[in-house]
């Protein structure tokens, strides 16, 4: 916590008290001089200031252990040549990165580190520019007897001389600026035999072009480093697989555990192949983690992976050009009994490169790539990748499967499939694999009946692929706990796809189109999660779901988090009272106007478990119909997340639920009596003149039927703010190009006029007539696109008549119908009702001359807005 007593002369410095002493943070204050610090301070952060010199010795506490001077403008240690750090001899860590302290004899004079005999960590990276030669004075660095970790620029001519052999504790080395040199020679680490950690990756180097840099690592460079456990050579895009091969041939002479060789090829460069000889030396190592991401690998010899050591625990081969399914049927990794995690995500992304400079890399390295490939080609024909065929099943099964009775094996598979299916997919994975990640790898087209060779998998991520149908089942995934199938645009799901996943706890199905599947409104949907008795997290947001079966979650008793946001739900009708552990239900961003009594009752039963509900951004309706719902929300407000952010529109204003309750309670006091009397009158009237009314007022009756069914009731919309759309567009299907292309472009995009177009804006799951009535009722104007096809369309005439009723009844004669004549018509074919409108009101004719259309759209928009 911040201390009450100052630890620095600068009041803007933050002081944090710890059991070991004070930590003083003076970073980013624009300091040009260093303040003084109390003796109790053990760490000082002066980074990101404007210091040009090292702090004066009397300004720093004698017990200081850590000093950060990075991101300043310091150019030397002491201009007068005196030894620095005379009062800070207990320093353990010193960060001087991102300054201008260049590597040469003048700046690194003899004795410059003589007072840092206890220093263990020194960062001098990003101090030497790449456009000149430097010299690393090893006789100066040998004064750092306790140094363990060194970050330094390895720019042109920098080498580690004999003086570094006097630093036996130096085990960690991070090299920057390598892009300024072309080659790493095999004697580069000759005097650093104790190194365990080397990071020479080049994710970003100052003053060096991104694509002109290190081209070669000589074979033998790492051969003498028998203690080496970690090596990162990533992001040198011109090294290629030839450089990779040179390094792998040295690794058997080391103690390597982690090897990172990522992005050694140009992003838009040619595809590469992985041959046996590239990784064969790794077989004689104890490698645990291998990263070969971003190397444009498209194919590999099927036997190449047999040279990966059994000690491997993590394999990452993302951002390449493999098609994972090509290798899914082959026993190429089954010998890796210790591997726990495989990541093959982001395949074939080079076609969508966002790097505008990537062509420079291809131009510089194209010849080198061809030369490298020729050097690495084996002296035999390349192995063709065979596709899986049932009669060759035995050839590709792992040893453990081949040794089983074949009939028993098929019995195991088909016992998982709930119906006779003539084929299934067999996937081979290492026997103890726990995590398989294949994200954004263009895997498709569906999830068929599938069987994996090992039951050890706990996490499977297949998000953002092209799996348009979840059929399944997924067999032998008995220990799977985490499954992510989001972002696949799936439109169909079977009732048994997850039937063989009893251990599943986390399931992500969001960002699909599962609402198009008809299963969710049937009793068959119960079977989807029938065996997921351990499921705790479920995400089905953004799926266009409009309804769920009442007992959809009946077997999922342990669910804690349910996400159904960004769907099309209009009410809640799912039983959740049996979920004793439910913590959160998200049904925000749906189409809920208000909850029915049944919906409120179902949710209220979950309140005993203290569950929270998120209903934000639903189009809550302020009307007498929602009074009971709002009072119920007010009563149980502690269970609604962000309760005071819920609002609705009423009488031209936006009100919170609390305020809406007060207004509606007052205005709807006699609402029930009015309804009862009206119903009695209507029933009596209908009984007397039933036949005449049905015919005479057929359009009005249809209008009122769908208005009442849509729960709008009769009330005049007094202000424009109540309308969801500026205009409802009525058009024939053969004329759909006009509203879809031209009206959307000229009115919506250019003039921000909100249009209701039935093929785009109608709510799925509602009847056509109901959608039409609700859309017209919620639109300020109705535009009829007249044509011969319009006059022939029954639905167009239905929309026109409903608009007439809306004008007469709900709008009290207000001008709301705009007639737009799209093409010439035979006047004899025009119905009387339309002819009356054409004669009484001004209509608009769509100009045939393109030059007149600019004025047309301007006038048309004005007609809608008037």
pLDDT digits (tens, 9 = 90+) for 114-172: 999 999 999 999 998 766 677 888 889 999 999 999 999 988 888 899 999 999 999 99
Structure tokens, 33 = 């001089």
CA dist., res. 692 & res. 708, Å (int):
22
- Measured between alpha carbons, how far is 812 from 254 in angstroms, rounded to an integer? 89
Which domains are delineated in the chain? Answer: 202-350+357-382 (3.80.10), 388-550 (3.80.10), 715-865 (3.40.50.10140)
* Structure token digits, residue 762: 């109608």
**pLDDT the model gives residue 363:** 47
List, in order, residues 6 or more apart from 4 with CB less than 8 Å away. Answer: none
Q: At what angle do helices 832-840 and 794-805 cross, to 10 degrees?
A: 50
Indicate if the pLDDT at residue 507 is higher than 50.
yes
Q: Please write the tens of the pLDDT for every residue from 364-413.
A: 555 555 566 666 666 544 444 433 233 333 333 444 444 444 444 455 56
Number of other residues whose CB lies within 10 A of the CB of residue 314: 17
Question: For position 4, what pLDDT does the model report?
Answer: 54
User: For the CA atoms of the chain, what is the radius of gyration?
Assistant: 37
Instruction: Spell out where 209-359 has E strands.
Output: 216-217, 230-232, 258-260, 272-274, 289-291, 297-300, 314-316, 341-343
The predicted structure's pLDDT at residue 208: 43
pLDDT tens-digit readout, 29-49 = 999 999 999 999 999 999 999
Please tell me the predicted confidence (pLDDT) of residue 812: 79
Contact 498, 528 (CB under 8 A): yes
Instruction: Report pLDDT for 400.
Output: 46
Express each pLDDT in 656-714 by its tens digit.
999 998 888 888 866 666 677 788 888 888 877 776 666 655 556 666 666 665 544 44
The pLDDT score that the predictor gives to residue 242 is: 87
Q: For 429, which DSSP code?
A: -
How far does Cα 407 stand from its chain's mean position?
43
Degrees, nearest 5: CA angle 621-625-627: 85
- Interval 632-645: pLDDT, tens: 999 999 999 999 99
Query: Is 452 in a helix, a strand, or coil?
Result: strand
- Give the closest residue to 780 by CA, choosing from 837, 710, 864, 714: 864
Q: Count the Cβ atoms, other than its own, within 10 Å of residue 791.
A: 17
227-264: b (≥16 Cβ within 10 Å) or e: ebbbbbbbbbbbbbbbbbbbbbbbbbbbebbbbbbbbb
Percentage of residues of the chain with pLDDT beyond 70: 84
Which of 266 and 13 is assigned the larger pLDDT? 13
3-state secondary structure 17-75: ECCCCEEEECCCCCCCCCCCECCCEEEEECCCCCCCCCCCHHHCCCCCCEEECCCCCCC
Distance CA 300, CA 311 (A): 21
Q: What is the DSSP string of 768-798?
A: HHHHHHHHHHTEEEEEEEE-HHHHH-HHHHH
Q: How far apart are CA 792 and CA 784, in angstroms?
A: 13
Per-residue model confidence (pLDDT) at position 335: 84
* Mean pLDDT value across residues 80-97: 90
Instruction: Output the pLDDT for position 266.
Output: 81
Residue range 735-783, pLDDT digits in tens: 999 998 889 998 999 999 999 998 888 888 888 888 888 898 899 999 9
Give me the pLDDT at residue 691, please. 67
Helix (H, G, I), strand (E, B) or coil at 594: coil
The pLDDT, as a whole number, for residue 200 is 94
Tell me which residue has tokens 């916590």. Answer: 1
pLDDT of residue 410: 55
- Report the alpha-carbon distance of residue 698 to residue 517 in Å, rounded: 36
The confidence score (pLDDT) of residue 325 equals: 62
* The predicted structure's pLDDT at residue 404: 46
- Mean pLDDT of the 304-330 span: 83
**H or E element at residue 650:** strand 647-650
Using a pLDDT cut of 90, give the percent of the chain over it.
Answer: 50
Lowest-confidence segment of 391-405, 603-617, 708-722 by average pLDDT: 391-405
**CA 598, CA 595: separation in Å to the nearest integer?**
8
CA pair distance 318, 327, nearest whole angstrom: 15
Q: Are 723 and 778 in contact (CB under 8 A)?
A: yes
Give the other-Cβ count within 10 Å of 60's Cβ: 22
Hey, how many other C-beta atoms are within 10 angstroms of the C-beta on 364? 18
Q: How far apart are CA 426 and CA 107, in angstroms?
A: 65
Does the structure show a pLDDT above 70 at 544? yes
Q: Where are the beta strands (DSSP E) in 546-704?
A: 561-563, 584-586, 612-614, 647-650, 653-656
Take residue 270 and report the two structure tokens written for it. 């040619």
Is residue 505 a contact partner of residue 481, using CB atoms and an 8 Å limit? yes
Question: Would you say 607 and 638 are in contact if contact means Cβ atoms under 8 Å apart?
Answer: no
What does the pLDDT look like over 182-241, one tens digit per residue?
Answer: 899 999 999 999 999 999 998 664 344 444 578 899 999 999 999 999 999 999 888 888
Q: Name the 3-class secondary structure at 604.
A: helix
What local confidence, expressed as pLDDT, does residue 670 receive?
Answer: 60
User: Which of 266-280, 288-302, 534-548, 568-582 shows the lowest per-residue confidence on average (mean pLDDT)?
Assistant: 266-280
Distances (CA, A) of 585 to 486, 565, 607, 657: 19, 9, 11, 20
Lookup: tokens for 385 = 């990748």
Q: Record the tokens describing residue 527, joined without a space.
A: 């079977």
DSSP string, 302-319: TTGGGGS-TT--EEE--S
């Amino acid at each position: 916590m911040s201390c009450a007593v100052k630890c620095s002369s600068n009041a803007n410095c933050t002081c944090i008290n710890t059991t070991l002493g004070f930590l003083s943070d003076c970073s980013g204050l624009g300091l040009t001089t260093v303040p003084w610090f109390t003796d109790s301070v053990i760490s000082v952060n002066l980074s990101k200031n404007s210091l040009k010199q090292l702090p004066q010795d009397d300004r720093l506490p004698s017990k200081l252990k850590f000093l950060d001077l990075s991101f300043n403008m310091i150019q030397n240690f002491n201009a007068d040549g005196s030894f620095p750090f005379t009062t800070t001899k207990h320093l353990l860590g010193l960060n001087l990165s991102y300054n201008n302290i260049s590597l040469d004899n003048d700046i690194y004079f003899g004795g410059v580190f003589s007072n840092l005999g206890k220093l263990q960590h020194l960062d001098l990276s990003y101090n030497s520019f790449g456009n000149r030669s430097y010299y690393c004075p090893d006789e100066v660095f040998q004064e750092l007897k306790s140094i363990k970790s060194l970050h330094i620029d390895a720019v042109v001519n920098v080498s580690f001389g004999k003086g570094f052999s006097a630093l036996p504790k130096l085990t960690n080395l991070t090299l920057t600026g390598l892009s300024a040199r072309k080659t790493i020679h095999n004697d580069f680490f000759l005097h650093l035999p104790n190194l365990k950690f080397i990071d020479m990756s080049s994710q970003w180097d100052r003053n060096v072009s991104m694509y002109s840099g290190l081209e070669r690592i000589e074979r033998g460079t790492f051969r003498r480093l028998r203690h080496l456990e970690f090596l990162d050579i990533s992001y040198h895009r011109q090294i290629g697989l030839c450089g990779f091969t040179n390094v792998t041939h040295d690794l058997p002479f080391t103690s390597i555990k982690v090897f990172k060789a990522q992005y050694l090829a140009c992003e838009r460069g040619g595809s590469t192949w992985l041959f046996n000889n590239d990784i064969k030396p790794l077989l004689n190592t104890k490698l645990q983690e291998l990263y070969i991401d971003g190397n444009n690998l498209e194919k590999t010899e099927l036997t190449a992976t047999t040279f990966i050591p059994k000690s491997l625990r993590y394999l990452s081969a993302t951002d390449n050009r493999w098609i994972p399914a090509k290798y899914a049927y082959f026993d190429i990794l089954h010998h890796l009994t210790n591997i726990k995690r495989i990541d093959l995500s982001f395949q074939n992304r080079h076609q969508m490169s966002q790097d505008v400079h990537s062509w420079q890399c291809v131009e510089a390295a194209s010849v080198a790539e061809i030369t490298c490939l020729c050097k690495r080609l084996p002296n035999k024909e390349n192995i063709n990748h065979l596709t899986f065929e049932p009669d060759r099943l035995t050839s590709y099964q792992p040893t453990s499967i081949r040794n089983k009775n074949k009939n028993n094996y098929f019995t195991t598979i088909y016992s998982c499939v709930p119906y006779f299916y003539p084929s299934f997919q067999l996937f081979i994975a290492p026997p103890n694999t726990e995590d398989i990640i294949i994200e954004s790898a263009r895997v498709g087209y569906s999830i068929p009946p599938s069987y994996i060779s090992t039951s050890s998998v706990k996490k499977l991520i297949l998000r953002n692929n092209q799996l348009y149908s979840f059929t399944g089942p997924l067999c032998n995934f008995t220990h799977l706990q985490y499954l992510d199938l989001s972002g696949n645009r799936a439109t169909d799901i079977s009732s048994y796809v997850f039937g063989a996943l009893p251990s599943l706890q986390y399931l992500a199905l969001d960002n699909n189109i599962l609402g198009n599947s008809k299963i969710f409104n049937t009793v068959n949907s119960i079977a989807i999660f029938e065996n997921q008795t351990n499921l705790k997290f479920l995400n089905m947001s953004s799926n266009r779901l409009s309804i769920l079966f009442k007992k959809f979650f009946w077997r999922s008793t342990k669910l804690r988090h349910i996400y159904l946001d960004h769907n099309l739900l209009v009410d809640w009708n799912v039983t959740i009272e049996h979920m004793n552990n439910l913590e959160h239900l998200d049904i925000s961003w749906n189409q809920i106007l208000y909850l029915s009594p049944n919906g409120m009752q179902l949710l209220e039963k979950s309140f005993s478990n203290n569950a929270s509900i998120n209903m934000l951004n639903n189009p809550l309706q302020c009307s007498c119909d929602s009074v009971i719902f709002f009072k119920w929300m007010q009563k149980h407000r502690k269970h609604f997340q962000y309760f005071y952010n819920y609002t609705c529109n009423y009488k031209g204003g936006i009100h919170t639920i609390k305020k809406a309750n007060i207004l509606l309670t007052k205005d709807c006091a006699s609402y029930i009596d009015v309804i009862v009397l009206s119903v009695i009158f209507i029933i009596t009237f209908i009984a007397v003149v039933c036949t005449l009314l049905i015919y005479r007022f057929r359009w009005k009756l249809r209008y009122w039927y769908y208005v009442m069914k849509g729960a709008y009731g009769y009330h005049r919309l007094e202000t424009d703010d109540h309308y969801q759309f500026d205009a409802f567009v009525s058009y024939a299907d053969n004329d759909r190009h006009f509203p879809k292309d031209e009206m959307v472009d000229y009115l919506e995009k250019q003039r921000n006029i909100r249009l209701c177009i039935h093929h785009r804006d109608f709510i799925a799951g509602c009847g056509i007539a109901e959608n039409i009535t609700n859309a017209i009722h919620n639109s300020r104007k109705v535009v009829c696109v007249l044509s011969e096809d319009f006059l022939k369309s029954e639905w167009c005439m239905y929309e026109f008549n409903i608009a007439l009723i809306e004008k007469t009844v709900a709008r009290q004669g207000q001008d709301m119908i705009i007639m737009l004549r799209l093409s010439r018509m035979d006047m004899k074919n025009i119905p009387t009702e339309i002819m009356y409108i054409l004669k009484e009101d001004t209509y608009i004719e769509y100009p045939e001359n393109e030059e007149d259309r600019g004025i047309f759209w301007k006038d048309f928009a004005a007609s809608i807005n008037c």
